[in-house]
Amino acid sequence: MELIALLSKGEGSWAQVSGLMKFGEWDKIVLVGNEFAKNFTHEKKFEFVKIDLDNKLVDLKEDLSKKLKEKFNGLEVALSIASGDGKEHMALVSALISIPVGIRFCALTKEGIVYL
């Protein structure tokens, strides 16, 4: 399965994304974030998609749709939105649905990766 994760403002929530990357068996990892999020590093290979998180909701969704359209091979992706706010989450979920690709929300817990 492919993982897509939002890296928003504040590095505190990036630990969740890092853990998912480390402990998951992913065919591909796509991280979405702004210029600041380009500073994120990890030992696993990932593709970074730069967006302007300050855009209006509709503009953000359209930008995400355009940039993510050809990124996924499967019919379903694991999605982490542990980082970010409601506007960013809505834009990303809406963009993925419009591609179309199915979504399985995922999170890293003490028991391991869970799908919600």
Residue 9's pLDDT is 75
Contact 50, 23 (CB under 8 A): no
pLDDT value at position 13?
81
**Is the confidence at residue 12, as pLDDT, over 80?**
no
State the CB neighbour count (10 A cutoff) for residue 20: 20
Confidence of residue 10 (pLDDT cuts 50, 70, 90): low
Is the separation of the CB atoms in 114 and 106 below 8 Å? yes
Q: Is the confidence at residue 62, as pLDDT, over 80?
A: yes
Going along the chain from its start, the domains and CATH numbers come out as 2-115 (3.40.50.10770)
pTM for this prediction = 0.94
